[in-house]
Amino acid sequence: MDTEETLQQRRRRLAQVSRAGRPSYLRDSEVDVWHPRSSPDSDVGPWDQLLIMAVKFAKLQGQVYDQLYSAAARNAHPVQQAETIQQFSAKLQSWYTGLREKSWDIMYYSTMTLILIKAPPTEEEAGVSQTCLEAARVGLRCHLACFSSYQIADSPGQVSEGEYASWVLHQSSLNPFIAVFLHAIAADSLEDLCPLDDVVAVLQKVSVVSNSCQALFKVCSTFARLGRALVMDDTRLENPEGGLQLSNDPNPGPQSGPETFEGIFGEGMKNGFKIP
């Protein structure tokens, strides 16, 4: 019979899984409404075009989940998955070429990273593929530039931290942060740790807006500190294949799982995500 502790561990795992990678509530196949027509009015037409581009972007994101991150996608053959990644990156690039609005750069590079991070790195690449790393680096720079532009005094685009969190931060994931983190610890790249610290500094300013912003700050702050500790740690060893060994300890303890992350993030982090 399972102990109470075992049951609690299973509940934590279930809570974490149920909050990760949710599919769309409304599937594209269930939508039979055509895109709106663009108004000939010069004051309204640009907004109509923006809406149409947003709909196309959302549809593409849904397809990315279905074909790269859904349960069914896990059984895809590597060759088929590589073709899917190439097709989606081309579609997203085509969408971006038709838009050319800098205000959408964060969402564009975030989604591009989401697509390319599924491509396995070659033997010469560390952590993630080079194309994924390039998209992730640009994504972080766009995030920093966007926030800075909102903080310039007398700027026409100046908004509060709350508005920035609602309009920008919550509308795109920070998976470029994770991609750069993975490369930094795999390649011992101090250079790539700097933008992570810069992003954490921005998130700290926004963390007072809501519990979700505070949770995001805590997660990214922990990863940034962990990355710096791993890269700077003199006890780390590289095996001949370039893989990473974090410790020689014959009793290293658990390396993953809910308990490990709970220890890293702390009780406040667990409560922030409302995990039972």
- The H or E element that residue 237 is part of is strand 237-238
pLDDT 10s digits, 91-104: 999 888 877 666 68
The answer to whether position 242 is within a domain reads no
Could you tell me what percent of the chain has a pLDDT over 70? 68
Q: Is the pLDDT of residue 90 over 90?
A: yes
The answer to whether position 165 is within a domain reads yes
Q: What is the pLDDT of residue 171?
A: 72
Residues in the chain: 276
pLDDT 10s digits, 23-57: 566 677 677 777 777 778 777 777 888 888 888 88
Tell me how many domains the chain contains. 1
Q: What is the pLDDT of residue 152?
A: 59
* Average pLDDT value for residue range 130-158: 77
Q: What is the pLDDT of residue 257?
A: 38
Please name every residue paired with 238 in a beta bridge, in sequence order, or none if there are none.
Answer: 244
CA 272 to chain centre: 19
Q: What is the pLDDT of residue 112?
A: 92
The answer to whether position 256 is within a domain reads no
Q: What is the pLDDT of residue 49?
A: 80
The answer to whether position 229 is within a domain reads yes
Q: Is the pLDDT of residue 119 over 90?
A: no
The answer to whether position 240 is within a domain reads no
The answer to whether position 15 is within a domain reads yes
Cβ neighbours of residue 155 closer than 8 Å, sequence gap 6 or more: 149
Contacts for 20-27: CB closer than 8 Å, 24+ residues apart? 21/65, 21/69, 21/70, 23/65, 23/66, 23/70, 24/62, 24/65, 27/62
Q: What is the mean pLDDT of the chain?
A: 74
The answer to whether position 243 is within a domain reads no
Token pair 């019979």 is found at 1
Residue type, 9: Q
The answer to whether position 1 is within a domain reads yes
Domain that holds residue 218: 1-152+159-235
